[in-house]
Each structure stands twice: as structure tokens, then as C-alpha cells.
Structure 1
């Protein structure tokens, strides 16, 4: 019994070290994704920003719980092991739910982006909405896109007057390069003709898929920790009864 308990204790200790690393990995991954898409805050719904924040919080909790689990394993405390198992179970549920939610949200990306970007187009170059204007310029320049579905979407905005597009739509950027480009016969050669929704949605879906995979993967790894903790708690109770 003593040898088996020591073996489980060492396995649990090693697991908690890996568990702590997984918490740090989750924090870094969520922070990177949050940083990448903070620029597009005006286009993405709150759901896409709350998910990374949830995983950052869960990552911090994982790190603290892993430390608690290490202490419980070293001290061979039955109470700490039971508490550790309960914490792991709650974290498992949160991560699994977050991972599934991130995956499900992938199906809504196109609709959310389209709706929000059409609204944001009407605020382009409008006083008081400088952040929206900057977001459009950054996105069109970095993603190499123009408009929502294509560059002609700008014709329906106050900024355009039916003929202009932002200079950030131009393949070769120069001040005023977007003037009268909607009616220009060579617009297809001088502007990014692909809409921003298809390009941005493709990137967001990929990142959401990776995010969901990591979250669900770590969640199932935690099941191993729950099993080890329960086995150690059972062994500790057995040792008490044998005394």
C-alpha cells in the first residue's frame, strides 16, 4: 500500500508540474489572440473578446490550483486532495464549455462581421469616430482588402459620395489615391478588390479553432489529474485505517 501511494503521489506531483505549464500556455495563447484582435474591436462582437479573457482567468486559476495540488500530494493530505479534485472538476467544466463555445462561434463569424462592418462603414471619417476610421485603415492595409464584401460597398457611405474609397484600399498607397476610384475603369488593378469579411473571417475562424482545440485538449488532460487525486485520496484514507 505504501509503495503504491508513493507511486501515485509522484505521478500526481509530475502531473501538477505539467498542469502548471498548461495553465501558463493557456494564458499566453489567450493573451496573444486577445492582442491580435483588439485592433478589430469595432467589428467583432463581445463574445469574441470575452472568450480569451475567460481563458486567461482560467489559466491563472489552473496555475494556483496546480500549486495547491503539489502541496497536497507532498503533505499526503486527504482533505487537500479532495478539494483539489473538486477544483479540477470545476475548471474542466469551464474549459470544456469555453472550448465548445469558441468552436460554435466560428459559425457566426461571417454574420457578426458583416453586420458590424456595415454599421462601422457609416462611421468612417465621421467626427467622434476616429477609432473606427483608424480600425478600417489598419485592417484594409494589413489584410489587403477593401469594403465589406468588395470595394463598391463604400459607394453607399456618406464619406464616399458615391465615388471615393479610403486611401487604405489602394495597392500603392498615396494621399488621395482613393478619390473617384469606384468609377475608375482601372479600379480592379489599383485597389484591393477582395472584401474584408471573407479575409478577416478566415483568420478569426482559424484562431478560434486553434483556441477551442487547446482548451478542450487541456480540459481532457485534467481528467487524468482528477483520477490521480482521487486514487491518492483513497490510498491516504486506506493508510489511516490500517494504522
Structure 2
């Protein structure tokens, strides 16, 4: 009987320590790293400004980061300790929770495809609200500048969107030196654009030759289309990794229950 017990009813050490090693990465890095990242943003007011310029009914985005970090911490803890201590309850919890996350991600992907026009409108709304608040926070300003420089765009759908900002709008009553202008980040890499910025401060909006005329929303859509294979590959890879984790956890649970049944 001992020979039969040894061959057919042993807990797989490979699966056990693979799940342990895989989850300890998330357990150790999930919550502490997010806390270190979020707190400085919270103190500087970036997340507070985001809550004021999004149509979320006053919802504070900091809670979303904390919830995601907490879920990853709990999930990593359950998988890590469950595998190490051969605790079937924690392993089942890990497996079910990972399955729920996979289902939610799949649902979000389907909804994003079905309601892509609504998402596009929300992105436009978000960018325009950012434009209005451009001078209110230096961190938000740097984020917008980075986005416009990286995507080589200006405004949500074009440079005219900067009329929404009280400093850049072209109304006759606007006393700002930046009147009818756009931020430096809208400027192309043409040396003439750099000269214009130095010479006229921000008054380059009418010089269409020297600024990006495409909006950030169309540029983002173009980037998605150009990198569709990479983006799809990343999401498929994450999905396969989650399915693989669920299968390993269920396999380990079966091994543990088989060994206990043989006692």
C-alpha cells in the first residue's frame, strides 16, 4: 500500500512552489508599492484634481487605486500561503477570485467594444476638463504636456479645444498674455516653432504650420490601430496566465484532497 500511496497520491512540489513563487511577487509588491506611489500624488493634489474633473459624482480615484492594490494583496496572500501550507480553502478562494477577475476583464472588454462611442465621448469630456484645469496644478499640466508631446497632438480633437481654457481663449476680453495661444507641448519639432514660442510667448495658435493640428483622441485611436496586435497579445497573455493559475490551483487542491483521503 505504501508503494501505491507514493506513486499516485503525492502533492506535486513543482506545482506547489510554482504557485508560491508566482504569488509572492504580487503579495510583496501589490499594496506597499501602490501606497508609496499614491501618497505623494495624494499630497500634491493630483488625485484630488482628477476627482474634480471627471464625471464620477465626486468619486475619489485614490480609492480605486487602494481597492486594486488591496485585491492584489489579498489574492497574492491567498495563493502564496495556500500553496505553502497546502490550505485548500485559501487555494479555492484564490482560484475562484482569479476566475471572477478574469470574467470581469472579459466583460469589460466586450462592453468597451460595444460602447466604444460612449468611451470616446467620455475621453473627449475628460481631456476637455483637463484643458480647463491646465493651469490649476503643475503635475496635471506636466501630464497634459507629456501626452501632447508623446502623441504629437493638440487638444482633444484639435487646437481649437484650447479655447476652453481661460488663459488661452481668443475672446477680446481676455487680458492674458497667452491669449489665442496653445501650450508649448502643441509645438512641432520644427525649429521655427521654437523661435515663435520664444518671440511671441504662447501666441502661435494661428501659425498652423508649426503646431500639431490633430487631436489627442484621434491620435490615440490611430495608435491603437497601429499596435492592435501588441495590445491584443498583452491582454491574451494576461488571460492565459490567469487561466493557467486557476488550473494549477485546482490541480494542487485535487492532489491535497487525494492525499488526505488516503489517510
The answer to whether 1:136 aligns with 2:149 is no
Whole-angstrom distance in 1 between the partners of 2:68 and 2:8: 35
Deviation of 1:214 after TM superposition, in Å, equals 4.5
Equivalent pairs, count? 222
Q: 1:168 to 1:83 in 2, by over 3 A?
A: closer
The answer to whether 1:3 aligns with 2:3 is no
Q: 1:56 to 1:215 in 2, by over 3 A?
A: farther
What residue number does 1:182 align with? 205
What residue number does 1:94 align with? 101
The answer to whether 1:145 aligns with 2:139 is no
Q: 1:124 to 1:65 in 2, by over 3 A?
A: closer
Partner deviation per Cα, 1:43-89 (whole Å, 9 max, x = no partner): 7777998777655444433432233233334xxxxxx2244223321
What residue number does 2:174 align with? none
After TM superposition, the structure 1 = structure 2 runs for residues 91-130 of structure 1, keeping only pairs within 5 Å, are: 91-98=98-105, 100-101=107-108, 104-105=111-112, 107=116, 109-125=119-135, 128-130=136-138
Deviation of 1:124 after TM superposition, in Å, equals 3.4
Q: 1:170 to 1:51 in 2, by over 3 A?
A: same
What residue number does 1:199 align with? 219
Gaps spanning 5+ residues in structure 1: where?
Answer: 74-79
What residue number does 1:13 align with? 16
What residue number does 2:182 align with? 165
Whole-angstrom distance in 2 between the partners of 1:101 and 1:230: 29
What residue number does 1:76 align with? none
| Bigger RCO (CA 8 Å, 6+ sep) | 1
Partner deviation per Cα, 1:14-39 (whole Å, 9 max, x = no partner): 44246327747995xx97xx99xx98
For normalisation by structure 1, the TM-score amounts to 0.67
CA contact under 8 A between 1:98 and 1:212: conserved in structure 2? no
CA contact under 8 A between 2:23 and 2:76: conserved in structure 1? yes
